[in-house]
Amino acid sequence: MTINENLSAFNNKRIVDFEEEISSLDFVYRIRVDYDDEEQDFEALLQKFCNDPKAAEAKELIIGAWNEIDEGTESLEIVNFLTRNKDKLPKLEYLFLGDITYEECEMSWINQCDVSPLLAAFPQLKHFQVRGGNDLSLGSLHHEALETLIVETGGMNRQILNEITNAKLPKLKHLELWLGNENYGWSGTLEDLQPFLSRDHFPNLTYLGLKNSEISDEIAKALNDASILDGLEVLDLSMGTLGDEGAQALLANPKIAQLKSLNLSHHYISDEVSAKLSELPCQVDLSDQEEEDEYGRYVEVGE
């Protein structure tokens, strides 16, 4: 599966594509250009948005497809532009960099950059989301207000994992990492994920998503008696390759029953074991059951 649709809602508001002006702040505006129209100028459109007087009241912004997504340094130019124009967006709290479908650019081809200047420029951000792992860096991440961090890749470099491990995010409640597979850039190990299984790093976390992973079984087994489960409301291992081995480890883990929600959608679990999971006292999502073929199992989004 690939990402075939743009977001339709963000922060519980409907998304519209920005064209000429900000008509109402009841909407969230997405800045994007048509991927096959070379005449459109992304930065000019972004400039028009920032120059609109109502931008000073905007709390949300989505960056969609820009020119030359899979080559060049335009993502860096976008980051630099927003950083320079931070005073025109003084109330920005929700930012998504890369609402891009596969028709616009496959996720594994999206060129990103060091996005840490954005987080430094907008200290009031509560939600930061980025799609695409090529050349992505979070830098030395220290943010006092951030509550949600979502990093979507078809293959996550271990450098990103280390940057998040070393981050200082005292208010973080929602951490969602799309880990991917090694064919598209995954270079981490289970050892690199161990810090995310401890509550020492992110004591206020209520949602942990280690998604889209080719080592879902190993992650499930490593969660045995993991302190992160204490106080966690949602565990999300969806989009990956979870099979009976990992599912049995979850069933044997008494802390799993304390969750409110367990998301295992897109999985390789047998009907027999799925039936046992369905008996857990928490809400369990077992949709999108896959069958392993002669070449093995696949994460939901790689390329």
Looking at residue 214, its pLDDT comes to 97
Looking at residue 1, its pLDDT comes to 52
Amino acid found at 155: G
Whether 17 and 49 have beta carbons less than 8 Å apart is answered as: no
Distance CA 130, CA 113 (A): 11
Distance of CA 91 to the CA centre of its chain: 22
Residue by residue, pLDDT tens for the chain (303 residues) are 568 899 999 999 999 999 999 999 999 999 999 877 777 889 999 999 999 999 999 999 999 999 888 776 889 999 999 999 999 999 999 999 999 999 999 999 999 999 999 999 999 999 999 999 999 999 999 999 999 999 999 999 999 999 999 999 999 999 999 999 999 989 999 999 999 999 998 999 999 999 999 999 999 999 998 999 999 999 999 999 999 999 999 999 999 999 999 999 999 999 999 999 999 999 999 999 999 988 899 999 988
We find that the CATH architecture of domain 138-303 is Alpha-Beta Horseshoe (3.80)
First CA to last CA across the chain, in angstroms? 9
Region of 281 please: left (phi>0), alpha (psi -120 to 50) or beta.
alpha
Q: Please, which residues bridge with residue 180 across strands? A: 155, 213
Looking at residue 295, its pLDDT comes to 87
Distance of CA 287 to the CA centre of its chain: 20
Question: In the block, which residue shows the tokens 């005292």?
Answer: 170
Q: Fold match between 6-103+123-133 and 138-303?
A: yes
Distance CA 164, CA 205 (A): 14
Whether 4 and 101 have beta carbons less than 8 Å apart is answered as: yes
Distance of CA 50 to the CA centre of its chain: 25
Q: How many helices (H) and strands (E) does the chain have?
A: 8, 12
Distance CA 126, CA 208 (A): 16
Looking at residue 112, its pLDDT comes to 95
Domain ranges of the chain: 6-103+123-133, 138-303
Distance CA 170, CA 142 (A): 9
Global pTM reads: 0.96
6-103+123-133 CATH pick, 3.30.365.10, 3.30.450.90, 3.80.10.10, 3.30.360.10? 3.80.10.10
Q: What are the tokens at 192?
A: 């690199």
Nearest alpha carbon to residue 123 among 149, 105, 144, 150: 144
